[in-house]
Structure 1
């Protein structure tokens, strides 16, 4: 059996996927120097710099069960030739890795996630192979939240294009939920696991206490 046939045999849950959970949306302005220093993570080049998002997600319910996820959502808005992409992503379960790679061309890698919370502060430790990094997140004391819906966001930002094993995948997730402002974010010991976003400019970022997300089938074409 070929590798693709073996992968297909592991696929049990086909899209659309309906997922629920909570998340952190970390918005950063990255400079050309930052992009150059993080070139191992395949961020799209930019001579001006731009905004990217780091998403830290806890899926409480999905077709493949609960799992955790850390990813970069790269929005090269200054280039008309590129759509958004996910150049780096870790998840906490093998079944999420397999389904994400095969169904959407998302380059998921398996990592361990550990969460610690004390009042408004939360620490997520991510271990990949023999390396560990931490993200320290502090929520505001305010309970005020705002409704958000993907229909309110420009469609171009939601169109994701991935390249994986000789194929191109394109899809547009849809979501809705509530968001509240995040007070602070700190990165510790990113090593070679993830770009050091402590060297980027943190913009207003958010905690999402609850969301509903739909991942539709991808349009898949040969390169």
Structure 2
């Protein structure tokens, strides 16, 4: 079955207003790791750099609740490349087709299963015949602090995507609360996601609540 729907079925036009909770995992990637994971279209870097892995549970969106796992790639500023989302899985078909159509985001449909026990959060993501798992540990007591996209350099939030011969460019806006996250561990990433257990884990965060605006993208032909 095709992932595309005819334009007349797209009733949920941007901007989108979304609410939910999330985990933001920060990793330092070495040039070797980037080279070994070329299948995931990470931008090359001769010295390495930071990328973010974001796991989201949208409780409210124009297309209903859904889950999401993505890589947000921030190339070196000196290379004058914009941020991008090279890999992303979501839990509903309607999110897949809307994300591709309006923002050029290469969403793929996967199944998400959650188990929450005290300060531990387990998420299994199934795609095709493969299943990987992510275990996240929160601190029992962690002070939350407020964050707003206005506090972040605009260039880091300017996302550029290429999809089916079109260039998409947009800058999400968000606000919410951050709490420090204790640790994250991966199992069985196989070939559906990079094995981030092989690189340096940096300070990461749990976002107990946030609001996100996805604006209308600027779209140009290649």
Question: Fold-level match, TM-score > 0.5?
Answer: yes
- Structure 2: which 5+ runs fail to align? none
Q: Distance in 1 between matches of 2:48 and 2:79?
A: 15
Deviations 1:165-202 (A, max 9, x none): 00000000000000000001000000011000001100
Aligned residues: 221
| Contact 1:177 1:211 (C-alpha < 8 Å) held by counterparts | yes
Structure 1 residue 57: deviation in Å?
A: 0.2
| Contact 2:148 2:175 (C-alpha < 8 Å) held by counterparts | yes
Structure 1 residue 33: deviation in Å?
A: 0.4
| Contact 2:3 2:97 (C-alpha < 8 Å) held by counterparts | no
| Contact 2:5 2:97 (C-alpha < 8 Å) held by counterparts | no
Q: Distance in 1 between matches of 2:77 and 2:17?
A: 31
| Contact 1:7 1:98 (C-alpha < 8 Å) held by counterparts | no
Structure 1 residue 12: deviation in Å?
A: 1.4
Partner of residue 86, structure 1: 85
Partner of residue 44, structure 1: 43
- Structure 1: which 5+ runs fail to align? none
- Is 2:147 the partner of 1:151? no
Structure 1 residue 4: deviation in Å?
A: 11
Q: CA RMSD in A?
A: 1.3
Partner of residue 12, structure 1: 11
Q: Distance in 2 between matches of 1:162 and 1:27?
A: 21
Structure 1 residue 5: deviation in Å?
A: 8.7
Higher mean C-alpha deviation, range 107-116 or range 134-143 = 134-143
Return structure 1 stretches of 4+ with deviation > 6 angstroms.
Answer: none
| Contact 1:10 1:98 (C-alpha < 8 Å) held by counterparts | no
Partner of residue 120, structure 2: 121
**3-state SS in 2 of match to 1:103:** helix
Q: Distance in 1 between matches of 2:92 and 2:34?
A: 29
Partner of residue 34, structure 2: 35
